[in-house]
Amino acid sequence: MIMNRRSLLTTALTLGAMKAFPGLSYAQARPLVFATFTGSWEEAHKAVLVPAFRKANADAAMVLDPMLSVDQIAKVNAAKANPPIDVMLHDPGPALVAVGQDLVEPYPVEKSAYYKDLIAEAQEPMGPAPFFQVVGLTYNPEAVKTPPTSWADLWKPEFKGRVGITNLNSTLGTGWLVEIAKMRGGSEANVDPGFKALEELKPNLAAVAANPGALATLFQQGQIDISPGNFNAIQILKARGVPVEFVAPKEGAIAFKTTIHIVKNSPNRELAFKLIEAALMPEVQTTLMNPPYLIVPTNSKVAMGGEIARVLAKDTAELKKKFVFQDWKKINEQRSAWIERFNREIKI
């Protein structure tokens, strides 16, 4: 931002005026604020969702303010009565935290034109899921000649020192551990088998990345050849020419609901509802499903196509069969204990 004398003066005057006339608060006049995620999410929303919303709502003013889920929660928490954000976007873990802390309003389901068309798993009364994130197996096709088919393949001796994972700070890392536990007879309430499996995975582990983004770059460096990975992140790498492939394991790909919520006490409640409606629209979801975004749709009226139909699911029925949804309420109960345990036990 360029600060010149005039803009500085205007700002100072505005601040002074707001001090002198407290009624003149920013909240009543501000545009709709949507806190999306940073990176490819922001790009996709700027290019597709925002224009669709503005077209449907007489060019209503809106602002994208991308930030992490935890930051959204912290900001709204700090000013509950007059929140600086109107619409929040969350992974399943933080979504439950936001609902638990009473930061979001129930979605006006009866008013919604699209809610009933969402597939059952995406119908969340406290905030529907306009998109899914999908986690499966990622591998380097130049080094791994036979494509993996199961999570169990990560334990194969041929991948000694070639496997990458992330720690449990991320939704990806936690969700994957739960899935491994389930594969070995555990559940969301009992991840002991998962930790035992991790212990056996140690000889194969080349890296425990600090976050999913760092994990993706390890493919670029040839540091790892196979790992659990996020479908969207892999498509971005692939588009940049990195040799990576995504495959849904036969146990099912892990699907995370990315939910969108109206913030409690939002001064722009009606527009917030309209924005969420736009995100649920089949037209918007179809555009976001196509390259370069490849975001998995949740509206059953959207016909699956392209890369998503090829590697994930051809239609809603197949999607339901191939996706595994996890109980994040149960996961959240014990997540901190798991992170602690992971800190202590996983040293390579």
Which spans of this chain sit near other proteins (rule: CB under 8 A)? 68, 70, 73, 97, 161, 166-169, 173, 206-211, 214, 217, 221-223, 335-336, 339, 343-344, 346-348
Report DSSP state, residue 295: P
Q: Under a CB-based contact definition with an 8 Å cutoff, are residues 278 and 49 in contact?
A: yes
In angstroms, what is the minimal distance from the CB of 344 to other proteins?
A: 5
Phi-psi bin for 46: left (phi > 0), alpha (psi -120 to 50), beta?
alpha
Query: Which segments of the chain are extended strands (E)?
Result: 32-35, 62-64, 87-90, 104-105, 131-139, 163-166, 205-209, 226-230, 245-247, 253-263, 296-297, 323-325
Instruction: Give least dist CB 133 to other proteins, A.
Output: 17
Strand, coil or helix: what is 216?
Answer: helix
Query: Of 214 and 324, which CB lies nearer to other proteins in the complex structure?
Result: 214
Nearer to other proteins, 3 or 120 (CB): 3
Q: What is the largest CA-CA distance in the chain?
A: 72
Identify which of residues 208 and 226 has a Cβ nearer to other proteins in the complex: 208
Taking the C-alpha atoms of residue 70 and residue 233, their distance in angstroms, rounded to an integer, is 20
Residue 129 Cβ, how far from other proteins at the closest point, in Å? 22
Place of tokens 């959240």: 332
Residue 60 or 242: which CB sits closer to other proteins?
A: 242
Toward other proteins, which CB reaches closer, 321 or 347?
A: 347
Q: Which is nearer to other proteins, 162 or 261 (CB)?
A: 162
CB-nearer residue toward other proteins: 200 or 283: 200
Shortest separation between residue 199's beta carbon and other proteins, angstroms: 13
- The nearest distance, CB 167 to other proteins, in angstroms, is 4
The distance of closest approach from Cβ of residue 35 to other proteins in the complex, given in angstroms and rounded to an integer, is: 16
How many Cβ atoms are within 10 Å of 151's Cβ, its own excluded?
22
List the one residue out of 20, 28, 92, 64 whose CA is nearest residue 279. Answer: 64
Minimal distance in Å, beta carbon 266 to other proteins?
Answer: 22
Structure tokens given for 98:
């936001």
Lookup result for tokens 């406290």? 126
Burial class (CB in 10 A: 0-12, 13-18, 19+), 13: exposed
